[in-house]
A and B are shown apart, each in its own frame.
Chain A
Amino acid sequence: MDVELLIAIFPQVLLDGLILGFMYALIALGYTMVYGVLEFINFAHSEIFIFGAFVGVEILLGLRSAGILAGLHWLPVLVLVLLAGMAASALLAVSVERIAYRPLRGAPRLIPLISAIGVSFFLQDAIRLVESVWRNAFNLVYPTMDALNERYELTSTIDISMKSFVVIAAALLMLWGLHALVNRTKVGTSMRAVAEDQAAASLMGINVNRVISLTFLIGGAMGGAAGVLFGVQYGLINPYTGFIPGLKAFTAAVLGGIGNIPGAMIGGLVLGLLEAFAASYLSLLTGGAFGAEYKDIFAFSMLILILIFRPKGLLGEVVRERA
């Protein structure tokens, strides 16, 4: 085993893990907020996430084919794309709740979950259908912006690209904004009240349906932002790309304690780091017998272990069985 190599790649792996972790954290928020309010796994959130990425790539491709992408500064373009992706995903999340979940509120708890799985599958192919008709392709590549691809050497072995830096900064900003919204505003208070006790909240004059829509709106916006950042960071997207990151983000939410917003952030970071280290170190440590391809198994096994041994997660409280 090459100890020097292990140490040399450590900072780079740490950085990759952080980026992945912030991505998971942003997606996990959508799961955890909805779960906190409805005790329901919004299975379609992975598609709401990738939908944001598609809206982003469409805008960028549109700008490029109009010939103005190269002339623009990257920052306003990125802000525009992020906002558009967030708005689109938020809208999609709210519509999905309206159409497929709201009629099922109060049904046995597996019923809305099955509906959500259906929505997830439906959306995957719906995105594919639209892109196939529109572009005759559904594997899309994010147009590169040169300024974002510039790399800065921190030391001789580590460098960080501009886009990684931007992704981390944007994620931090978003998480801070959400935290402020939930804890410092009236809207946030009403959301927490509904999560605590729907009946009591409605007696206090809170419009529960509106708060639930709002929860989907905010969760969807975070997912959309994550989608755009995912596209900027990793480049290639297709309608099925969202599924595995979505599942892992759910793992992150469970890890942090589902229903708990800071928990989702921490869970996302922990999972991202663990996965990055598993991906780079497994093959080195086992002499090539097990490689990066086992990182998915690693994440899922962790999900299973947490659910069995500490279902309340790192920060969560015990979730009551709903009668």
Chain B
Amino acid sequence: MIRAGVAVGLVAASSVLVAVFPRSILAFLAFQASLLWVYTARVPSWLRGALLAVALLVLMPVIGHYNGYYLEVATQVGIFVALALGLNIVVGLAGLLDLGYVAFFAVGAYSWAIFGSPHANLIFGAGFPLDPAWFYLFLVVGLLVAAATGILLGLPVLRLRGDYLAIVTLGFGEVIRVLANNLDKPVNLTNGPKGITPIGRPPVPFDLPYAETFYFLVLVIVGVVIVVNRRLEDSHIGRAWEAIREDEVAAQAMGVPLVRSKLLAFACGASFAGVMGVVFSAKQVFINPESFTFLESIGVLAMVILGGMGSIPGAVLGATVVTVLNLQVLKGLSLWLNELKNAGVTILGFSLADLPTQLEPAKYERMVFGAILVVMMIFRPQGIFPARRRERELVGAGDEQPAPTGATAPVA
């Protein structure tokens, strides 16, 4: 009962903080932290669900009303949560390291960008852009196109061993990016580095502002993705994936169809990215190949690794932490440093105004991703919220189980 009170109190207090200091990053971080606490605290599950629902459905849009940037951050977090959950299927469940995951995101994004903007006229003559209402159909189209791309990539490469597969998917991701960068001739498909704009935005119910629309849209998709992931995890195919991850040969011997299961993993993971790609392109109104670099793929990988491979809450947490780190903490540090510089603050006789102008914390996301990957691999490979089965595997199968006794003891 006390915990329940504390949970409600924390969420309420942090919301008030955000309302009082709408510009303070710390207040918003406190709000996020309170949600994390609610999720992990031992409170009745109905209360946990109700608090999270209120926070995401009511409090977040209200906060966004005070500070639009926070709603943008929340939407971005949602997009990356979906991406992380998709990659989680491929890397976490099936154990296939995909380093070019963002390619599927790109495929989805470009599929709506081309047809939802006047750009398609260059290819097909006239009749474009499509009516914005088509956007909702394109959510499905993006899903299918990305899944098909996943299968197309998977067919030839899935026979490769783990580390070769990683490199090939990396190469594939680069190929997609270079293609997007250069297919402005002979046929202008992607408009090259200049990118495509303006991309149509979906029609909005109840005259919601666009920022709120996209927030709720992303929230709904993330909800669906989480449910699908949950169902997949304990399904026939989910167990087949985990069997493949643990031991391909044994899985095959047990009758798991290797190629078909792996293709399915690729297609499932890719389809989430495809849907979010469509949303992303409509949200941004403008896309170009810069949004789909290797850096993004590694960023999503860092999210999955940080949270815990194969763990759904892990992927959500990882995506949130990494996105917030990038969009808020690093940017906040940059702003803060600039303010200090402009104010002419000196520390121990060293004037901050003399700091090199190239030193901008916001530009160091690679360092963050890299540090996350290395530190997690060395100290906690199972992640912050380990998947239960995965944890047992990485800690060592026999460690926490009591030694078998009597007749069941294996004969060495």
List A residues at the B interface (Cβ < 8 Å). Answer: 40-41, 100, 103-104, 107, 109-115, 117-126, 128-129, 132-133, 135-138, 243, 247, 250, 254, 289-291, 293-294, 296-297, 300-301, 303-304, 307-308, 311, 321
Give the residues in chain A near B305, CB-CB below 8 Å.
114
Which of A110, A138, A291, A321 has the most chain B CB atoms closer than 10 A to its own CB? A110
The 8 Å CB contact of A41, one of B167, B359, B373, B378, is B167
Stretch at the interface among B27-35, B271-279, B361-369: B361-369
- Kindly state whether residue B99 has any CB partner on chain A within 8 Å: yes
A132 touches B358 (CB 8 A): yes
- Kindly state whether residue B174 has any CB partner on chain A within 8 Å: yes
Residue of A with least CB distance to B173: A300
The 8 Å CB contact of B160, one of A114, A121, A133, A311, is A311
Complex CA gap A125/B363 in Å reads 9
B163 touches A109 (CB 8 A): yes
Known contacts A110-B162, A118-B372: does B357 contact A129 (CB below 8 Å)? no
A321 touches B161 (CB 8 A): yes
B176 shortest CB reach to chain A, Å:
10
- Kindly state whether residue B228 has any CB partner on chain A within 8 Å: no
Which of A123, A125, A308 has the most chain B CB atoms closer than 10 A to its own CB? A125
B374 touches A113 (CB 8 A): no
B377 touches A115 (CB 8 A): yes
Pick 18 A–B contacts, CB within 8 A, sort by A: A41-B166, A103-B378, A109-B163, A110-B97, A114-B301, A114-B377, A115-B377, A117-B301, A118-B373, A118-B375, A121-B366, A254-B164, A289-B185, A293-B181, A297-B175, A304-B168, A304-B172, A308-B159
The 8 Å CB contact of B358, one of A41, A113, A136, is A136
Give the residues in chain A near B95, CB-CB below 8 Å.
110
B179 touches A297 (CB 8 A): yes
- Kindly state whether residue B370 has any CB partner on chain A within 8 Å: yes
A141 shortest CB reach to chain B, Å:
16
Q: Is the interface of A mostly helix, strand, loop or mixed?
A: helix
Residue of B with least CB distance to A138: B358
- Kindly state whether residue B182 has any CB partner on chain A within 8 Å: yes
Complex CA gap A89/B357 in Å reads 28
- Kindly state whether residue B398 has any CB partner on chain A within 8 Å: no
Complex CA gap A297/B161 in Å reads 22
Of all A-B residue pairs in the complex, the 8 with the closest CB atoms, nearest first, are A118-B373, A122-B370, A121-B370, A125-B367, A300-B171, A118-B374, A132-B358, A136-B356
- Kindly state whether residue B269 has any CB partner on chain A within 8 Å: no
A311 touches B164 (CB 8 A): yes
Give the residues in chain B near A118, CB-CB below 8 Å.
302, 369-375, 377
Residue of A with least CB distance to B367: A125
Give the residues in chain B near A132, CB-CB below 8 Å.
356, 358-359
A126 touches B367 (CB 8 A): yes
Q: Encode contact with A along B133-174: 1 for CB under 8 Å, 0 otherwise.
A: 000000000000000000000001101111110111011101
Complex CA gap A311/B301 in Å reads 26
B186 touches A289 (CB 8 A): yes
- Kindly state whether residue B381 has any CB partner on chain A within 8 Å: yes
The 8 Å CB contact of B99, one of A109, A117, A128, is A117
- Kindly state whether residue B178 has any CB partner on chain A within 8 Å: yes
Give the residues in chain B near A290, CB-CB below 8 Å.
186
B174 touches A296 (CB 8 A): yes
Give the residues in chain A near B240, CB-CB below 8 Å.
none
Known contacts A100-B378, A297-B179, A321-B161: does B166 contact A113 (CB below 8 Å)? yes
Could you tell me which residues of chain B, from 74 to 104, have a CB within 8 Å of some CB in chain A?
95, 97, 99
- Kindly state whether residue B298 has any CB partner on chain A within 8 Å: yes
Complex CA gap A100/B166 in Å reads 19
B151 shortest CB reach to chain A, Å:
16
Residue of B with least CB distance to A309: B156
B168 touches A307 (CB 8 A): yes
Known contacts A110-B166, A113-B163, A117-B99: does B374 contact A100 (CB below 8 Å)? yes
Complex CA gap A41/B170 in Å reads 13
| Contacts A117-B373, A125-B370, A304-B171 known; 10 new A-B pairs at CB < 8 A | A118-B377, A132-B356, A247-B167, A290-B186, A291-B182, A293-B181, A304-B168, A307-B160, A307-B168, A311-B164
Residue of A with least CB distance to B294: A243
B170 shortest CB reach to chain A, Å:
7
Give the residues in chain A near B373, CB-CB below 8 Å.
114-115, 117-118, 121
A119 touches B356 (CB 8 A): no
Complex CA gap A304/B172 in Å reads 8
Residue of B with least CB distance to A302: B171
A133 touches B359 (CB 8 A): yes
The 8 Å CB contact of B178, one of A125, A135, A138, A296, is A296
Give the residues in chain B near A250, CB-CB below 8 Å.
167
A41 touches B163 (CB 8 A): yes
A40 shortest CB reach to chain B, Å:
8
Which of B363, B369, B378 has the most chain A CB atoms closer than 10 A to its own CB? B378
Residue of A with least CB distance to B156: A308
B97 touches A104 (CB 8 A): no
Complex CA gap A115/B294 in Å reads 16
Complex CA gap A113/B301 in Å reads 12
Give the residues in chain B near A289, CB-CB below 8 Å.
185-186
